[in-house]
Structures are given as C-alpha cells and as structure tokens.
C-alpha cells in the first residue's frame, strides 16, 4: 500500500501506491532498538539511560547497515561483497605426491592437513571473513545522536508510568518538603516537623501535576520503515506503539484519538508500531505523521521553530505557510511604533 521514494526537498518518504480509506492500516513493524530516556518539556531528550552503543553491537550486520543509513552522514549499503579467499593454490605435482586430487579440492585438503582444520572450521572462517567485510564502521557519538534525534519515537509504557507516578507524587514532593521545611525552620528558628509538614501539604497537593509537564521518564524506539515517514502539522496518518500510555497512564496523546478504531495492543518484549490513516489518502500522496502531537494546539510559528530546533528541518506544510503569511499582532504594533 506504500513505497519509500526520494522526494524533492524532503529526502526519503513514504508514498501511497493506491487510494487508502480512513482508518486503514498502512504498516506494522517491530522496533529495531528501544532505550529508556529522561525527557523534559514534552519529549526533549536530555539523557538516554540505556547505552545505545551496546545495543548497536547486538544487531546483525544487515540491521547495522540499516541503522547507519538513518544518519545523514551514512555510507550506502554495498549491493554485493565478494567473499574472502579461504584456499591456497598448490601445484598439481605436489598435490599428486600427497595423494590428493588436483585443482581447488587439493588446495583445500592441503590446508586442512597442514593446520588440522575440518570442513566446518574452514566454512566458519569463510563466514566470519565475509561478515567482517560486510560490517559497517561503528557510528560515532555524533551519528548516534543524529539518528535518535531525527528518527526516535517517544512513548511511555507501563514501566515508565509506574516510575513517573512514584517520582512525581511521592519521591519528588517528599524531598522538596524536607528541604524547604528544613530551611524554613533553620532560618526562622521554627519547629522542623511542623515546617516540613506544612511544606508537604503544599507540595503533595500541587507539585505532581506541575512537575510532570516539566520532566519525566520515558522510552524511545527506532523503527526502520516508520523512520521514513516525514512530518506534517496536518498529518494524514497517525502511529501508536503497543502498550503505549500517557506519562501518568491513560490513552496516549499521539493523534490516534482521531482514528475511529483504537489499537488494542498489549505490551510485549519487542515493541511494535502500527501506522493508520486519519483520512482518505489519494494514490501518489505522501504519508505523513505529526512528530509532536502532544503540542498540536501550540501557535504554528512557535511550533515550527521547535521542530527546526529538535529535528533540524523547517516545516513547509500548509498550516505553517498560512501562519507565516498572516501578520503577527506584536509585529504590527512594533511597525506602528516605528512609524
């Protein structure tokens, strides 16, 4: 129902190969890599708690090439690589003297006789040599950063929800209550217990709903095909990851709420992503998603600046272009002051 093509000015993207109805499944795929993260301001990653390098080393050679291809500094995957030579050429006379048939079989047999290696050992060395040729150079720290910043999808699962609830409704308010109440009692020579309890009443009632919008723990995953879907503020498709929840539980805010059928996906060890259409998509139309659906109501130009800062591109969708043409009231006032 779709194909990945080069799009002018947009790099690679997903294009519908036929007309697609509303709420139609576009693709379902498993995550290549998943990491735990510490995020601020609705999805800005400041720390990846899982070592990306360690996960990368566990990938197959083919998946390593696909992972590296997501970086703008990547090298194309070689179409065909010749295997490393595993035999030595010997003369027919020496082979005959050893009682071994002439030709390539003789050289292989001679190798095994000299080094005491079996057929399985030679085949294993051949596969290891081929793998070493195929394996790409390990990505640099900058390449890893670019790949995850441009292609990683943010979400929270049940484990993240449990941690966030404890962090924002128990641990963080308790620490601030002890710190604030203790300092208050120290400076004003009050009773420590009473000061701490007073601070606790304030922080436990108000802090959780406020702090959860500032920072939280979550997850981030790389999906190879979904990574090729470009952004639009007026997206025609939406994605959801199995087991996905909002930061404190409940339905996720990812644009899928506009789709009639919710995804009854259950958590599992390997995360799966499903992409569905939000409206009718014409044949040849590019499939797009919203990279920051939780900020859908933000002022368009501010949202555009945030996208450029976090993802490195300037959004040129209809919504952003229309907002760019409209005069901003503040700019109008400044122009009047100048005149």
Instruction: Write out pLDDT tens, residues 130-149.
Output: 444 578 888 988 899 889 98
Rounded-to-integer distance, Cα 293 and Cα 234, Å: 10
Rounded to whole angstroms, the Cα distance separating 203 from 77 reads 54
Which segment of 85-94, 231-240, 264-273, 287-296 scores lowest on mean pLDDT? 85-94
* pLDDT average, residue stretch 200-227: 82
Q: How confident is the model at residue 77 (pLDDT cuts 50, 70, 90)?
A: very low
Which tens digits make up the pLDDT trace of 42-65?
666 777 878 899 999 999 999 999
| pLDDT value, residue 296 | 82
Lowest mean pLDDT among 122-126, 177-181, 188-192, 296-300: 122-126
| pLDDT for 329 | 56
Question: For residue 236, which of 263, 276, 209, 207 has the smallest C-alpha distance?
Answer: 276
**pLDDT reported for residue 229:** 93
**Assessment of whether the complete model's pTM goes beyond 0.75:** no
Residue 99, Ramachandran bin (φ over 0: left; ψ between -120 and 50: alpha; else beta): left
Tokens for 150, please give them: 């441009």
* Rounded Cα distance, 300 and 318, in Å: 10
CA neighbor of 226 nearest in space, from 27, 68, 74: 27
Stronger pLDDT, 181 or 330, i.e. the higher one: 181
Six token digits for residue 26: 């576009």
When pLDDT is averaged across residues 92-103 and rounded to a whole number, the result is 37
Q: Is the pLDDT of residue 331 over 60?
A: no
CA distance 244 to 259: 16
The tokens for 319 are 């919504």
pLDDT value, residue 252:
66
- Closest by CA position to 228, among listed 177, 169, 287: 287
């Amino acid at each position: 129902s779709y194909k990945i093509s080069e799009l002018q000015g947009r790099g690679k993207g997903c294009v519908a190969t036929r007309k697609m109805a509303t709420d139609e499944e576009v693709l379902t795929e498993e995550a290549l890599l998943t990491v735990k993260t510490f995020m601020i301001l609705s999805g800005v990653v400041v720390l990846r708690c899982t070592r990306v390098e360690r996960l990368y080393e566990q990938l197959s050679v083919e998946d390593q090439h696909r992972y590296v291809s997501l970086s703008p500094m990547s090298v194309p995957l070689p179409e065909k690589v010749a295997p490393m030579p595993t035999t030595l050429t010997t003369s027919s006379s020496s082979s005959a003297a050893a009682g071994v048939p002439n030709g390539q079989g003789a050289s292989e047999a001679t190798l095994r006789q000299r080094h005491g290696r079996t057929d399985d050992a030679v085949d294993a060395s051949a596969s290891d040599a081929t793998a070493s040729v195929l394996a790409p150079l390990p990505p640099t720290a900058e390449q890893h950063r670019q790949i995850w910043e441009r292609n990683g999808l943010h979400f929270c699962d049940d484990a993240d929800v449990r941690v966030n609830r404890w962090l924002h409704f128990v641990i963080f308010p308790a620490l601030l209550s002890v710190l604030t109440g203790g300092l208050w009692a120290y400076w004003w020579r009050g009773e420590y217990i009473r000061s701490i309890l007073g601070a606790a009443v304030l922080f436990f009632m108000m802090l959780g709903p406020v702090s959860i919008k500032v920072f939280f723990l979550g997850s981030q995953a790389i999906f190879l095909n979904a990574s090729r879907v470009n952004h639009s503020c007026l997206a025609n498709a939406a994605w959801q990851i199995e087991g996905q929840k909002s930061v404190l539980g409940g339905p996720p805010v990812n644009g899928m709420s506009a789709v009639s059928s919710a995804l009854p996906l259950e958590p599992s060890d390997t995360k799966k992503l499903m992409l569905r259409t939000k409206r009718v998509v014409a044949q040849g139309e590019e499939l797009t998603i919203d990279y920051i659906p939780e900020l859908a109501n933000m002022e368009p130009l501010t949202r555009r600046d945030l996208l450029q800062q976090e993802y490195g591109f300037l959004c040129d969708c209809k919504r952003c272009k229309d907002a760019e043409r409209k005069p901003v009231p503040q700019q109008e006032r400044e122009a009047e002051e100048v005149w």
